[in-house]
Structure 1
Amino acid sequence: MTLKKSASLCNIFVLTFFLANVVATAAAAESNAKAPVTIGVLPGGDPVATVKQSSLFAEKLQNKLGQPIQIFIPKNYQGLIDAVKSEKVDFAFFSALTYVLAEKQTPVKVLLKKTWDGPFYFSALVVRADSKIKKI
């Protein structure tokens, strides 16, 4: 298992534990009718895979908590920010950029975040071989 996959599984475990506590606390304060918890997920490269993975996560979380879980996948990043602003979602998975954009538009609070091995991460800038850009 790769380090990246281990980190992802760890993040899912921590989020599941956190959501279990939040939902359990909220459920104790509510009546017997349980309103679904809606989790917003950013649209990703393969929409079919995003729906499949998100649905599987929601199903497992719902079975574990006994609380209805709905997944909201917007058409674009701004759609998730708008869903947070209009309170269509209870929780949202943001990328770093989406969080920065959301924070400028609405009050958001980080509950969980991914940690790196240092204060930075690596990226790549790719250009065509015939591009005049040789260095930055």
Structure 2
Amino acid sequence: MKLTKELGLMLYWGEGDKTGNYFVALTNTDVKVLKYFVSWIRKYFEIDEKRLKGRLYIWNSFDEKKAKEFWSKELKIPLSQFTKSYISKSKPNIRKARHEYGVCRVSFGSKKIFKEILEGIKTHFH
């Protein structure tokens, strides 16, 4: 899929964090979605790579190290930039489909870029 500013804005509009805490963030289980998001922010915005963070939401039956290594490799975010994972107790009666590497949240704090993204969404799609 071609990387365009408009497609990235649409992705963020549908999936991104818009809570107003000035963190540009997207959480998903689909590696393709997160790879697109990370490539998009790297291409269209000047970001400090050291501020780009990953965080996992996984079940306690998962291998946290393996999951972090997977997401780190796929998203090209160093392991050192992954924050503490949220680990939930497994409950057999909840959610039969569990993603092998959990849910990953990619984020970075930037009031300027957060506002720029929301303004871009408003300009293009409202």
Question: Which structure carries more strand by proportion?
Answer: 2
Rg larger in 1 or in 2? 1
Same topology, TM > 0.5: no
TM-score for the superposition, normalised by structure 2:
0.35
Q: TM-score, normalised by structure 1?
A: 0.33
Greater relative CO (CA pairs within 8 A, separation 6+): 2
